[in-house]
Structure 1
């Protein structure tokens, strides 16, 4: 099977000497390689590059020998790329953990110190079976550094194999959709996702499977009752519903029977400004991603800059931070954002930002009641929904 581009390998190992040896070996054999020293860096590399195969060490922290870090990373990588071939490279963890990794989706394993020829034979055999059409990189890695989001992720992973319906609530851009898609990827019935935009929905799908419902509170009363009927069926769909309202807000907006069935589990994703550790990790992630994408150097990030980012206002949460980092890569400097905090005020400087801020302010004032917010803004409900979609609200 012929491929026009050289294969690209990702090697995850915390030992720089081992990384250097791997680079020499693979480049001598005509293979390109990128390296990562821990899980976060590995996910960033996977999101940035078109990786054909991963060599995965299982321990990254000093003194770690259990392999737990590597097994968790293996799961995260296969959520992003289910078909990705992963070869576990193990030393301290031993054969037992390597076998566990294969049960979790790894393609094979090698022991340290490896035999160069045997390792190359294994890699060449796996690469020979890769598809002619190379899978493109995927930016949508879920980067988690805060304990708060880590706990939510652990609960989502625990529930993923079940058929339980789940509500994920949180402000716009906080990561609700990524979390929902992770749950679907880890479910027993992982398959095609049916996206339902509640404000545009005239009828529920006839097809069962995985339903992702955005702005669930915007479903008409009739559709809410029909959805409640579907959830009560033994062979009904697996539903994950997203909303900017919290549980209390949804209790007043959803049919009581629907809330009873749909709201057994509510995962609340906090806004980005309550997760400073995630801000630091995401800044590093987006900086490398956009620098690679645009062919520009990563902007320097000092302590003063990080402090500014951790205390800034992020109206669109992760989306706002992503745009801010891309702008820093393109301009080569961390410009003061027009939407950053100035004292206790948020000062918009463009028509786009002004309209978005007016709409968000009205929505928050009325507890995201679209009818009341539209009346205050002098808009019809459909017009407000269109603007909400435009600004990601």
Structure 2
């Protein structure tokens, strides 16, 4: 879901580009600012760090080396609450965009962009930013047996080349597990590129994932690298893989089998060297439903499976998570350090946390911002139980249906009146004409 409260900054020296992006994003995100000079960035940051920055790579006329944009990216990555970054680049600047990915950008968009593609990239970047904290280890914290097993599996599998599938409910930190695998692997100095597979339109799947050649279709104005090429030598994280249509699954399977991609419009394949980590919140049993997911693709992706437990199954980790996030937001919003009120911790640990660690993080942020007492009380966290699932009422028994009751009553009156229409009508309080109509209706 898009976050209407997200703060977005468009940093581009072309006023037409900045205005077009701002108008598009304002339809679903209220706070969208523009800036045409990176030298003014620090002054803007003093008023607050944006959640997402759309960053151009070149600002000085005539410069094409991207050094200015990369310097801004490096600056943004030093911030305590670093924003997500999407690089805006011309087609010819794709190698620079790949360098930006290696330095921490989450995605790149080529200009001129497709509006649906830009909106999807922004929504995915904000979702990933919300799922991530300053350090991966902090979000994977926990001494519960379940989390110790997750960490042990990460440590074992990370140095290998095995593909990994991460399973778990929304908000448990599946991307953080993927980042931890990448960080502990021999590819740690390469690109970690996350792709929300549910946000990639099936019609442009091949172009987005495998790239295209100039002239391959109407808007293909230059060669373009796909996500596989952009992650070359690194890790490609295929998030929400369960949302991938079957047709696109077949194309992905071919690439994984051959370790080659063929850009749209190309006449030869290109070798790719990427490690695949995938994730889904689908119930594991549904992954084996051939109508939803190809079994042969599943076996390519799930060489190793890591199941991330929901927070309700590791309640002992809640106190450490609460302390971490409350401290994080007290620092971020310059609020005083406060403790939990007596009894609050027990109630927070007993909460089921639908939405998992992500929900706990949001609740802590709310408590820090809105709590106005010397300590934190449970009502500061804004806990709301999820709506109960709709359950259709049980069908009425035949004897309780109005039509059945009416038919049986008329039949009883006719029997008591021994077939006399006038008498039966009087017994029922009906006119003779009305009784005739009902006799016909019920076939009596």
Q: TM-score, normalised by structure 1?
A: 0.50
Cα deviation, 1:186-245, whole Å, max 9, x if unaligned, reads 111221122221122223234144211111011121221222222223655311111112
Verify: 1:224 aligned to 2:249, yes or no. yes
* Residue from 285, 296, 307 that aligns with 1:257: 296
* Residue from 254, 264, 279 that aligns with 1:242: 279
What is the Cα deviation at residue 298 of structure 1?
A: 2.5
Change (3 A) 1:206 1:286: closer
Q: How does 1:153-192 map to 2 (within 5 A)?
A: 153-190=151-188, 191-192=190-191
| Aligned-pair Cα RMSD in Å | 3.1
Aligned residues: 219
What is the Cα deviation at residue 144 of structure 1?
A: 2.4
Aligned to 2:277, the other structure's residue is in SS state strand
**Matches of 1:172 and 1:255, distance apart in 2:** 23
Change (3 A) 1:158 1:307: same
Aligned to 1:232, the other structure's residue is in SS state helix
What is the Cα deviation at residue 338 of structure 1?
A: 4.7
Change (3 A) 1:278 1:298: same
Verify: 1:334 aligned to 2:374, yes or no. no
**Matches of 1:264 and 1:303, distance apart in 2:** 47
Change (3 A) 1:236 1:230: farther
What is the Cα deviation at residue 325 of structure 1?
A: 1.6
Cα deviation, 1:286-309, whole Å, max 9, x if unaligned, reads 111111122222232256211111
Q: How does 1:298-337 map to 2 (within 5 A)?
A: 298-302=337-341, 304-330=343-369, 331-332=371-372, 333-336=376-379, 337=381
**Matches of 2:293 and 2:354, distance apart in 1:** 26
Change (3 A) 1:171 1:227: same
**Matches of 1:319 and 1:247, distance apart in 2:** 21
Aligned to 1:299, the other structure's residue is in SS state coil
* Residue from 242, 251, 267 that aligns with 2:306: 267
**Matches of 1:291 and 1:338, distance apart in 2:** 17
Verify: 1:147 aligned to 2:145, yes or no. yes
**Matches of 1:186 and 1:148, distance apart in 2:** 20
Say whether the 8 Å CA contact 1:230–1:237 is kept in structure 2: no
Corresponding position of 2:198: 199
Verify: 1:287 aligned to 2:310, yes or no. no
Larger Rg: 2
Say whether the 8 Å CA contact 2:341–2:377 is kept in structure 1: no
Q: TM-score, normalised by structure 2?
A: 0.45
What is the Cα deviation at residue 164 of structure 1?
A: 0.8
Aligned to 2:322, the other structure's residue is in SS state helix
What is the Cα deviation at residue 145 of structure 1?
A: 2.4
Change (3 A) 1:317 1:212: same
Change (3 A) 1:267 1:138: same
Aligned to 1:195, the other structure's residue is in SS state strand
Instruction: Return 5+ residue gaps in structure 2 as ranges.
Output: 1-77, 83-102, 105-132, 210-226, 260-271, 393-444
What is the Cα deviation at residue 282 of structure 1?
A: 0.5
**Matches of 2:170 and 2:162, distance apart in 1:** 24
Say whether the 8 Å CA contact 2:197–2:238 is kept in structure 1: yes
Cα deviation, 1:134-161, whole Å, max 9, x if unaligned, reads xxx9255332222211111110121011
Change (3 A) 1:268 1:206: closer
Instruction: Return 5+ residue gaps in structure 1 as ranges.
Output: 1-45, 51-80, 83-136, 341-345, 348-356, 366-393
Cα deviation, 1:1-56, whole Å, max 9, x if unaligned, reads xxxxxxxxxxxxxxxxxxxxxxxxxxxxxxxxxxxxxxxxxxxxx99699xxxxxx
**Matches of 1:264 and 1:211, distance apart in 2:** 15
Say whether the 8 Å CA contact 2:348–2:378 is kept in structure 1: no
Corresponding position of 2:43: none
* Residue from 226, 236, 239 that aligns with 1:214: 239
